[in-house]
A and B are shown apart, each in its own frame.
Chain A
Amino acid sequence: AQSVTQLDSQVPVFEEAPVELRCNYSSSVSVYLFWYVQYPNQGLQLLLKYLSGSTLVKGINGFEAEFNKSQTSFHLRKPSVHISDTAEYFCAVTKWGGGTSYGKLTFGQGTILTVHP
């Protein structure tokens, strides 16, 4: 079974400051890793994903994440945040299998990012 821990439930930052949202996972098998964002009253939207290859992945809206296998982490970063980045962010994993993932996502508890002017 897989599990995901998001180490911060809330992260307040000022506009234009850098931010890091932390995610650690546990799995006995290889996994794919994802970050989703949920804006108020909207569905989950994929920010970025790590499947294989380069451990630094870039996503939409200027976000990037780095996969660290030894530390079982997949932290999300953005060098300069905007007010519009205020949302809840979810880290998720799915079991890898044979070139396509099994599909069932296991999510972390979420991190609420609040960007202040």
Chain B
Amino acid sequence: DTGVSQDPRHKITKRGQNVTFRCDPISEHNRLYWYRQTLGQGPEFLTYFQNEAQLEKSRLLSDRFSAERPKGSFSTLEIQRTEQGDSAMYLCASSSEFEDEQFFGPGTRLTVL
């Protein structure tokens, strides 16, 4: 297993466009998390799945953001009508529900022009 992977690694888009990011967790992990990290800050929790169920969404996640994990494996995070304030690193992590360590992917860096 090569760990958590995220695609793309970098995304540059124009304001108002929609973007979608993908996360592939470690295969035996049933929990998947999305975080957002802006420059000079620590990661902030966005949302969390256990299997295919989305169990919590942060208030940071406006209605322009949607996340799915349709078969309990990979997940997608979509941002509609992007704004410059959405520019950040989007991190995905996975874990087993029986362990406390989250394994992080390399992140997707989004730049909104």
Contact = CB atoms under 8 A, between A and B. Distances in A.
B25 interface: no
Interface range, B side: 20 to 34
B101 A46 contact: yes
A106 interface: yes
Contacts of A57: none
A94 B100 CA distance: 9
Nearest to B3: A43
A103 B95 contact: yes
A49 B95 CA distance: 15
B48 A42 contact: no
B45 A44 contact: no
Nearest to A96: B100
Contacts of B40: 9, 109-110
B100 A32 contact: yes
A45 B91 CA distance: 12
A41 B10 CA distance: 11
Interface string B93-110: 101011111111111000
B31 A44 contact: no
B104 A100 contact: no
Contact of A43 (B31, B41, B101, B106): B106
B42 A103 contact: no
B40 to A, nearest CB: 7
B100 A43 contact: no
Interface of B: 4, 31, 33, 35, 40-45, 48, 56, 91, 93, 95, 97-107
